[in-house]
Structure formats: structure tokens, C-alpha cells
Amino acid sequence: MDLENLPPQIQFAFISMLKSAIDFKEMGENEKKFLEFAKGIWETMEMSDLQDLKEIIVSKMQKDLEPAMKVYMEKQRRK
């Protein structure tokens, strides 16, 4: 697969799914379990309002990044 020629959002999806597949494998799960997981994601998306899902994702990402940003900002102030 030529990752460089894919749109950026698809590159991100590929990398994210690859990381998830590795995590499943390391937890002892098989391909079928990973594909069921991916199908569940698709079904959730199909049953939901896309704008609501986007807002949930952004909110979660902000919460996840906030502690790291605080550490970064503190390091920058010390310089």
C-alpha cells in the first residue's frame, strides 16, 4: 500500500487501525475479533449523528491532550 498517496485523513486512519490491530494481537486476540471491532465502529457511526460523533471525538482528544499540554507549557516557561 502506498501510504504517501492517500489523503491525510485516510493515512491517519490506516496508522490508527494498524496500531489497534497490533494491540489486539498483543492481547492475544485474533483477526476475527479485530474485524468485529471495526464493524462495530462502522455500525455505531451509521446509527449516530455524524456531527455529534465529531464533537465527542474532539472533546475526548482535548481531554486526552490536556495533561501533556500542561507539562509542555510548564517546560516552555522554565526555558
pTM of the model: 0.68
Q: Within this chain, do residues 27 and 40 fall inside the same structural domain, yes or no?
A: yes
- Total count of domains within the chain: 2
- Predicted confidence at residue 3, as pLDDT, reads 87
Q: Within this chain, do residues 21 and 33 fall inside the same structural domain, yes or no?
A: yes
The larger pLDDT score, comparing residue 79 to residue 5, is at 5
Domain of 30 in residue numbering reads as 1-47
Q: Within this chain, do residues 56 and 18 fall inside the same structural domain, yes or no?
A: no
- Predicted confidence at residue 17, as pLDDT, reads 95
Q: Report which of 20, 19, 12 is spatially closest to residue 3, judged by C-alpha positions.
A: 12
Q: How confident is the model at residue 2 (pLDDT cuts 50, 70, 90)?
A: confident
Using the predicted structure, report yes or no on whether residue 25 has a pLDDT greater than 90.
Answer: yes
- Predicted confidence at residue 20, as pLDDT, reads 96
Residues sharing a CB contact under 8 Å with residue 38, sequence separation 6 or more, in sequence order: 17
Contact predicate 22/36, CB 8 Å:
no
Mean pLDDT of all residues belonging to the chain:
93
